C-alpha cells in the first residue's frame, strides 16, 4: 500500500531545510532510542520523548515564502488512539541558540496505553494575513513532517490477539475457533476490536503448537478463515462504512486494507463488493491467495 | 485523583458470562441483580501500575452507583425519553466513584468486568437486548461510553437546555481523530450548545463536525493554543449560521 502523501495547499519547507534527529524515550529515568516496543513500562511510569532538530531558518523562509514576521515552531505530537488522548507541544524556533534545538515532551503516568504514535512537524504559528499566493496563511499550517514512529507500550508485539479457552465450559458450539470483531467503526484499534478465540478442546488447537506435524497446514486454514470471516462481516454489516479517505495505522480499516492489498491483490472496496455479489468467487480468492491447506504434511 | 486498575475479563469469558445474564433476564431484572458479583475467578487486573479495589470496595462502588441511578430502574427497564438523563447521571457517577486510571480505562477487560459481572442489571436495563457491543468493554459499552463522555466533556456533558443529545454526542466521539484533541471536542460541544435554534441543532452539529474535520488536513490543530482553536470553531460555526459554503 503506498505511503500516505499529504498534499498541502501552500508551499512546504524544503527537505534540505530541516533535519530531524533520532527519537528517544526515557522511561523511569532510563533513556533509549524509541523502538517498536518499550521495556518495563507500566501505568505508573513517567515517560519523556525527546529529540534534536536542525533547521536552516533562511531556507525554511525562502522555500515557504514566510517572512520574519511569521513564527515558525517545532511541534511534537504523541497520539494514543486507544486512550482517546493526544499530547502536543509547539516550541517557537528563533535560531538564537544556534541551528539545533532540543525538544522534549512529558507523558503523564497513566495517561496512555497500548501504543503511541509520535509525529513531529514544522508549523507556522502566526502567518501573515493576507499572505501572498501559495504561502501558508492559517495558524497551525504544516510546513514539514518527519516520518511517524509507532511505539508499543503494552502487549506482546504484533501478535494476533488470541485467547484460548475450552468451549464446553463457555457453552459454545465445539468449533475449532471463533473470530470476534466488535467495533463501532473501522477507525477503532484493530488489537482492541478483534479476538481469535481458540477452543482448547478441539484437535486443531493441538495442531497449532509449533512442533505438531499438521501445524503449517492448520495455520494456513486458520489464516484464511480469520481473513474471510473479518471481510465477510464487514461486507454485510451496514453499520461499518468504508471510508475512501483511508484509516490510521493500527485501525481495523487500515489492517483490512493492508490484507486486501498485500494478500488478495485487490483494494478493500473491491473485495467487499466481491463478497456481496459473488460469494463463491470471494471464497476461492481467499483460499487461493492465502494458501488454504497448501501445506499438507507428507 | 485516579488510582485504581480493575479486574479484566477476557472476551471469551465475557461472552460466556453474557449468556448467563441474558438467560437470567428472561426471569426479570431481579434475576439479573442476583447475578451481580464483586469478583470473578478468572478476572485479573493488570499486573502493575495501580491499586486494585477489594471486593468490598467494588461492592460499595456498586451500591453507590445503584443509589444514583436506581430511580430510573424501578420498573426494570429504562423508560422512553429518559435515556439521556440516565446516561449523564451514570457517567458522572462512574467517573467520580471508579477513579480508574485512564490507561486502564482504555482496555476492554475492565469494562467487560464492570458491565457483565459487577453491574449487569444496568446493562440489562439500559440495553435490554444486551447486544455484544454494549456488553463487551469496547467503545460502545454501556458504561465505557458514558465514562469517556464525562472524562472529556465534564461540565459540558450536563450543560444546555436541552443538553447534548445522543446524535450530537456520537458525532463528536465517533471520529476518534477529532475527539483525541480534547480541547477541540469541548469547543465543538460548546458551539453546539450555543446554537440558538434548538430545533435545528442536530443538523447544525453534523455540519459543524464535518467542516471542522476538513480543516485538520493542512492544519495541526493540536499545536494551537486553545484560544485559536476556539476562534476556528467559532468561525466555522458562524459560516454555517450565515449560510456560507
Which three-class secondary structure string do you get for A134-165? CCCCCCCEEEEECCCEEEECCCCCCCCCEEEE
Spatial separation of the C-alpha atoms in residues B52 and A64, rounded to whole Å? 53
CA distance B33 to A195: 29
Please state, rounded to an integer, the average pLDDT across all residues of chain A: 89
Share of chain B above pLDDT 70, in %: 98
Band (pLDDT 50/70/90 cuts) for residue B241 is confident
B144 vs B75: which has the higher pLDDT: B144
Select the residue from A6, A43, A202, A205 to test the B interface by mutation, using most B Cβ atoms within 10 A: A43
pLDDT at residue A3, rounded to an integer: 44
Q: What angle do CA A20, A25, A26 make, to 5 degrees?
A: 135
What pLDDT sits at residue A160?
83
Ranges under pLDDT 50 in chain A: 1-3
Q: Do A170 and B15 touch (CB under 8 A)?
A: yes
Mean pLDDT of B221-233: 92
Q: What percent of chain A has pLDDT over 70?
A: 97
d(CA A231, CA A257): 10
Instruction: Inspect the interface and report whether the beta carbons of A140 and B107 lie closer than 8 Å.
Output: no
What per-residue confidence (pLDDT) applies to A2?
41
Instruction: Identify which of B212, B204, B213, B28 has the alpha carbon closest to the alpha carbon of residue B125.
Output: B28
Q: Give the helix ranges, DSSP H, for A4-105.
A: 57-64
Which set of grid coordinates corresponds to residue A41?
513500562
Distance CA B110, CA A43 (A): 15
- Determine which helix (DSSP H) or strand (DSSP E) holds B165, and give its type and residue range: none
A142, A283, B3 from B103: Cα distances, Å: 30, 40, 11
Contact indicator for B74, B82 with CB cutoff of 8 Å:
no
Residue among B217, B219, B152, B214 at smallest CA distance from B186: B152
ipTM score assigned to the predicted complex: 0.92
Q: At what angle do helices B55-69 and B83-98 cross, to 10 degrees?
A: 150
Beta bridge partners of A92: A73
- Partner residue facing B12 (CB), from A80, A113, A170: A170
| Helix %, strand %, coil % of chain A (to 5) | 25, 30, 45
B178 compared with B108, residue with greater pLDDT: B108
- Whether chain A has a CB inside 8 Å of the CB on B172: the answer is no
Output the pLDDT for position B41.
92
d(Cα B93, Cα A272) in Å, to the nearest integer? 42
Shortest Cα–Cα distance, A52 to chain B (Å)? 18
Among B15, B217, B220, which would you mutate to test the A interface (most chain A Cβ atoms within 10 Å of its Cβ)? Answer: B220
Over residues B3-30, the mean pLDDT reads: 94
Q: What's this model's pTM, rounded to 2 decimal places?
A: 0.90
Q: Coil, strand, or helix at residue A195? A: strand
Peptide bond into A257 cis (omega under 30): no
Q: What is the β-pairing status of strands A100-107 and A47-55? A: antiparallel
Distance from CA of B21 to the nearest CA of A (A): 13
Q: Does B104 touch chain A (CB under 8 A)?
A: yes
pLDDT of residue A212: 81
Angle at A290 between CA A188 and CA A159, to 5 degrees: 45
The answer to whether B140 contacts A195, with C-beta atoms less than 8 Å apart, is: no
Q: Helix or strand or coil: residue A33?
A: strand
CA distance A77 to A160: 27
Asked if A139 lies within 8 A of B102 by C-beta distance, the reply is no
Task: Give yes or no for B245 touching A (CB within 8 A).
Answer: no
Backbone angles phi, psi at A126, to 5 degrees: -140, 80
Query: CB pairs under 8 A, 24+ apart, for B44-47?
Result: B44/B7, B44/B8, B45/B5, B45/B6, B45/B7, B45/B8, B45/B104, B45/B110, B46/A42, B46/A43, B46/B5, B46/B8, B46/B104, B46/B107, B47/A42
Tell me which H or E stretch contains A80: strand A72-80
B190 pLDDT band, cuts 50/70/90, is very high
Amino acid at each position: 500500500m503506498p505511503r500516505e502523501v499529504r498534499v498541502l495547499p501552500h508551499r512546504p519547507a524544503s527537505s534540505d531545510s530541516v533535519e530531524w534527529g533520532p527519537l528517544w524515550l526515557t522511561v523511569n529515568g532510563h533513556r533509549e532510542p524509541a523502538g517498536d516496543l518499550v521495556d518495563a513500562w507500566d501505568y505508573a511510569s513517567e515517560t519523556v520523548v525527546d529529540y534534536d532538530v536542525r533547521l536552516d531558518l533562511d531556507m525554511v523562509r525562502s522555500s515557504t515564502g514566510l517572512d520574519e514576521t511569521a513564527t515558525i515552531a517545532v511541534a511534537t505530537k504523541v497520539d494514543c488512539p486507544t486512550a482517546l488522548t493526544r499530547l502536543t507541544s509547539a516550541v517557537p524556533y528563533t535560531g538564537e541558540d544556534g541551528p539545533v534545538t532540543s525538544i522534549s515532551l512529558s507523558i503523564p503516568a497513566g495517561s496512555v496505553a497500548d501504543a503511541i504514535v509520535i509525529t513531529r512537524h514544522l508549523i507556522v504559528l502566526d502567518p501573515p494575513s493576507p499572505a501572498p499566493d501559495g504561502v501558508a496563511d492559517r495558524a497551525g499550517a504544516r510546513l514539514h513532517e518527519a516520518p511517524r514512529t509507532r511505539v508499543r507500550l503494552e502487549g506482546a508485539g504484533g501478535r494476533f490477539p488470541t485467547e484460548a479457552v475450552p468451549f464446553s465450559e463457555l457453552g459454545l458450539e465445539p468449533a475449532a475457533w471463533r473470530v470476534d470483531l466488535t467495533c463501532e467503526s473501522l477507525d477503532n484499534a484493530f488489537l482492541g476490536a478483534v479476538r481469535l478465540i481458540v477452543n482448547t478442546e478441539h484437535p486443531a488447537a493441538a495442531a497449532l503448537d509449533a512442533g505438531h506435524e499438521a501445524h503449517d497446514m492448520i495455520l494456513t486454514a486458520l489464516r484464511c478463515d480469520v481473513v474471510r470471516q473479518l471481510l465477510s462481516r464487514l461486507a454485510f454489516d451496514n453499520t461499518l462504512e468504508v471510508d475512501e479517505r483511508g484509516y490510521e495505522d493500527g485501525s481495523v480499516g487500515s489492517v483490512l486494507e493492508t490484507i486486501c492489498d498485500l494478500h488478495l491483490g485487490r483494494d478493500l472496496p473491491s473485495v467487499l463488493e466481491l463478497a456481496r455479489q459473488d460469494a463463491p468467487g470471494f471464497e476461492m480468492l481467499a483460499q487461493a491467495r492465502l494458501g488454504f491447506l497448501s501445506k499438507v504434511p507428507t | 485523583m485516579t488510582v485504581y486498575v480493575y479486574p479484566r475479563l477476557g472476551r471469551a469469558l465475557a461472552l460466556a458470562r453474557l449468556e448467563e445474564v441474558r438467560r437470567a433476564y428472561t426471569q426479570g431484572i431481579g434475576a439479573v441483580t442476583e447475578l451481580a458479583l464483586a469478583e470473578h475467578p478468572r478476572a485479573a487486573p493488570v499486573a502493575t501500575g495501580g491499586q486494585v479495589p477489594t471486593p468490598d470496595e467494588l461492592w460499595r462502588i456498586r451500591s453507590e452507583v445503584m443509589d444514583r441511578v436506581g430511580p430510573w430502574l424501578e420498573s426494570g427497564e429504562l423508560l422512553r425519553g429518559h435515556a439521556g438523563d440516565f446516561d449523564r447521571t451514570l457517567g458522572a457517577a462512574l467517573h467520580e466513584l471508579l477513579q480508574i486510571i485512564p490507561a486502564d480505562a482504555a482496555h476492554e477487560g475492565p469494562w467487560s468486568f464492570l458491565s457483565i459481572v459487577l453491574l449487569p442489571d444496568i446493562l440489562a436495563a439500559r440495553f435490554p437486548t444486551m447486544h455484544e457491543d454494549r456488553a463487551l468493554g469496547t467503545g460502545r459499552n454501556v458504561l465505557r461510553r458514558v465514562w469517556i463522555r464525562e472524562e472529556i466533556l465534564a461540565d459540558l456533558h450536563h450543560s444546555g437546555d436541552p443538553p447534548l443529545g445522543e446524535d450530537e454526542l456520537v458525532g463528536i466521539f465517533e471520529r476518534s481523530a477529532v475527539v483525541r484533541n480534547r480541547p477541540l471536542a469541548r469547543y465543538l460541544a460548546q458551539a453546539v450548545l450555543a446554537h440558538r435554534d434548538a430545533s435545528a441543532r442536530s443538523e447544525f452539529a453534523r455540519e459543524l463536525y464535518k467542516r471542522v474535520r476538513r480543516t485538520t488536513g493542512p492544519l495541526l490543530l493540536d499545536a494551537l493554543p486553545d484560544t485559536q482553536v476556539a476562534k476556528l470553531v467559532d468561525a466555522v460555526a458562524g459560516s454555517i449560521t450565515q449560510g456560507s459554503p
